[in-house]
Structure 1
């Protein structure tokens, strides 16, 4: 049986835990996720002939039942309302430079520090103009959601799938959630992160239209 390991740190008196992704077979290398990504890509392209990988199904159940993520939600609530984040979720395509500046200020004022070693996912297609890492970056705890966003405009266009690990020497802030089936965008398991700069590429694999990268930042 796989057990979750928690690492702790303090921000303004609130302890936030790291949510581990061991159930996906993660061992710190990009290679450990490639079979999962391949299975999710096949499932997205042809759901009638491919099934969602079992490890992803189990992981999604762990997202719904996680006590760690419940604590994330409680900590998020204690930091007040985040109107720019909610506007971003509904209308990010319309954001201009001033909107992104306000969004970044909101993250700095109300965001939570991510645990060192926290792993996040992100998927972008060639038509996604918000792949500028100097602006707040939308990531997810769900590899399925990352694949969905990468392929939502088609599977014959250049696509990038990122696995992003928060490094041990950084202080990365993010606004999280809301999570759950009963709230808008809850199934996205979104973590909006302010990296300030593009994380470092640790590993990269390219297959056809798909480029997979392990980033650390």
Structure 2
């Protein structure tokens, strides 16, 4: 089952990194110094749209109809303990229970390591705030990468969506666990200080 695209137009996205660079840098400053910087207004409005989106409600309904995802829920709590066998089971669960993402769907991912393994399921989010939080949670002095990922037009990408909302565990992360099978190609890159932004598709 293929789900409808959730647009991120409220963030000012026009298809290139420059269109959201100010937002990303504003969120970076807010994370490292919340007492002296405010969360960008466009991000606040976007987060409100995540909560009330009819498209995302339908995503949730479709995911619920596809059945239980116990390996995914275990991954959310104990991903650091996952071994090769666990990741194989998780991949099988994505293939069996996952939903097909819309071509061109935009997802975000923040990391503080060069050792991203795209052969395993990749945790992404619909929220740029959450992506930057995850990139910075181990310290803002480390080199970090913020990925803006556009689901490629030439592939069928499956994901476990799940569950969204403040009333469920991890719901505020708006997580989309994706099996890309291969790393999407870099189409644009901008570096500011120790932060590298990449557009992948």
Q: Does the pair score TM above 0.5?
A: yes
Q: Secondary structure at the match of 1:106?
A: helix
Which residue matches 1:136? 121
Higher relative contact order (CA 8 A, sep 6+): 2
- How many correspondences in the alignment? 201
- 1:67 is displaced (CA, Å) by 0.4
- 1:17 is displaced (CA, Å) by 1.1
Contiguous gaps of at least 5 residues in structure 2? none
Q: How far apart, CA to CA, are the structure 1 residues paired with 2:28 and 2:191?
A: 14
- 1:152 is displaced (CA, Å) by 0.3
Which residue matches 1:165? 150
What are the superposed Cα offsets for residues 120-174 of structure 1, whole Å, 9 maximum, x if unpaired? 0000013x86x20000000000000000000001111010000000122210000
Q: How far apart, CA to CA, are the structure 2 residues paired with 1:16 and 1:133?
A: 22
Whether the aligned pair in 1 keeps the contact of 2:152 and 2:184 (CA below 8 Å) is no
Which residue matches 1:101? 88
Q: How far apart, CA to CA, are the structure 2 residues paired with 1:132 and 1:31?
A: 26
Q: How far apart, CA to CA, are the structure 2 residues paired with 1:32 and 1:215?
A: 15
Measured on the aligned residues, the alpha-carbon RMSD in Å equals 1.0
Which residue matches 1:116? 103
Q: Secondary structure at the match of 1:75?
A: helix
Which residue matches 2:197? 212
- 1:202 is displaced (CA, Å) by 0.4
Q: Secondary structure at the match of 2:102?
A: coil
Which residue matches 1:125? 112
- 1:71 is displaced (CA, Å) by 0.1
What are the superposed Cα offsets for residues 37-67 of structure 1, whole Å, 9 maximum, x if unpaired? 0000000000010000000000000000000
Q: Which runs of 4+ in 1 moved over 2 A?
A: none
Contiguous gaps of at least 5 residues in structure 1? 1-10
